[in-house]
Amino acid sequence: MSTILSVEDLKVDIPLAGGVLHAVRGIDFDLKRGETLCIVGESGSGKSLTSLAIMGLLPKMAQCRAAKLEFSGIDLSKAKNRQMRSLRGDRMSMIFQEPMTSLNPAYTIGDQLAEALLLHRKVGKKAAEARAVELLEKVGITAAASRLGQYPHQLSGGLRQRVMIAMALMGEPELIIADEPTTALDVTIQAQILRLLVDLQREMNMAMILITHDLGVVARVADKVAIMYAGEVVEAGKSADVFNAPQHPYTRGLLRCIPVPGKTKPGEHLGSIPGIVPSLIGETQGCAFRGRCDVAIGSCAHDIPRRVSESGHMYRCVHEGGQPAANAIQSEGRP
């Protein structure tokens, strides 16, 4: 499979009154056609800003730069606004977190779906509406033709999210980014939406970036995983590698927070990670997780090595395998 998206040393800075917020700090990953990459991390770790940077939708005050930001041979870092508009909604699409704020309440569902195709294809309105009905049926909406005349407030949350998925697919994109697409939905609808996304991705052979904080979702759908913390990818690799042999202390902490069927007993306490994500305003040095890490040592405050296995499993930690050597904490001391 050919690489469709290549990101190298992506950085996003936001000037604020109190200093510069380094929201995304040197992100690297590649994505091939048909692959699913899940980006995982706590709120504020830079997941959404990474996706907005790829789509060229960052706020005006944000400053984005990258050694490489290439989509299907196109250098997105140098693309003009006109070129980005021609790509968005056509070859690359995004499903946003809250469909009620993403859909325009003043326009019907049919108008908003048809617009996505009319902007990028030389088709008439009837052909665009026929395509909208086809996709609404594909995403599991009944009486699809009658939905075209409805407004967003007339639909449930699950139906609105399905409309957003249909809208993202109108141009048959090569890349789709889903930013926590099930956050506002109940559990049963979440499962339906995720299964729908995975089925459509396989059917259309799209590359997909799924942004979430739910590791249970990741385990079911991801080919590759990138664990983000404080604007950095601290661990990345094939899904099986990351789940079966997590190397970074933060990844292990996240996994301890999840109940394991057949192993976690009823009433048993789950793991937790103390503290909060540190401020990213101003210059930072060393491992941003060291203040919350139970194996942190003095050298964690300095440059952190980037370790990569033969299988491509990458993590950033001073400890090889994420585990300290014998008596390392006692001999060197915490930072």
Range 29-36 average pLDDT: 94
Choose among 142, 162, 148, 30: nearest CA to 95.
162
72-102 pLDDT per residue, tens? 999 999 899 899 999 998 899 998 877 777 8
Least confident piece of the model among 26-35, 203-212, 254-263: 254-263
Q: What separation in angstroms does the CA of 156 have from each of 70, 97, 115, 163, 185?
A: 37, 15, 22, 11, 10
Find residue 225's DSSP bridge partners. Answer: 38, 237
- Residue 139 is predicted with a pLDDT of 86
- Residue 14 is predicted with a pLDDT of 95
How much is the mean pLDDT over the chain? Answer: 88
Class of domain 3-91+173-274+282-332: alpha beta
Taking the C-alpha atoms of residue 87 and residue 167, their distance in angstroms, rounded to an integer, is 14
Q: Is a pLDDT exceeding 70 seen at residue 328? A: no
Residue for token pair 């294809």: 121
| Confidence category of residue 28, pLDDT binned at 50, 70, 90 | very high
- Residue 1 is predicted with a pLDDT of 66
126-183 pLDDT per residue, tens? 999 999 999 999 888 889 999 999 999 999 888 888 898 889 888 889 999 998 887 7
Q: What are the residue ranges spanned by the domains of the chain? A: 3-91+173-274+282-332
Interhelix angle 109-118/125-138, nearest 10 degrees: 110
187 versus 255: which is more confidently predicted?
Answer: 255
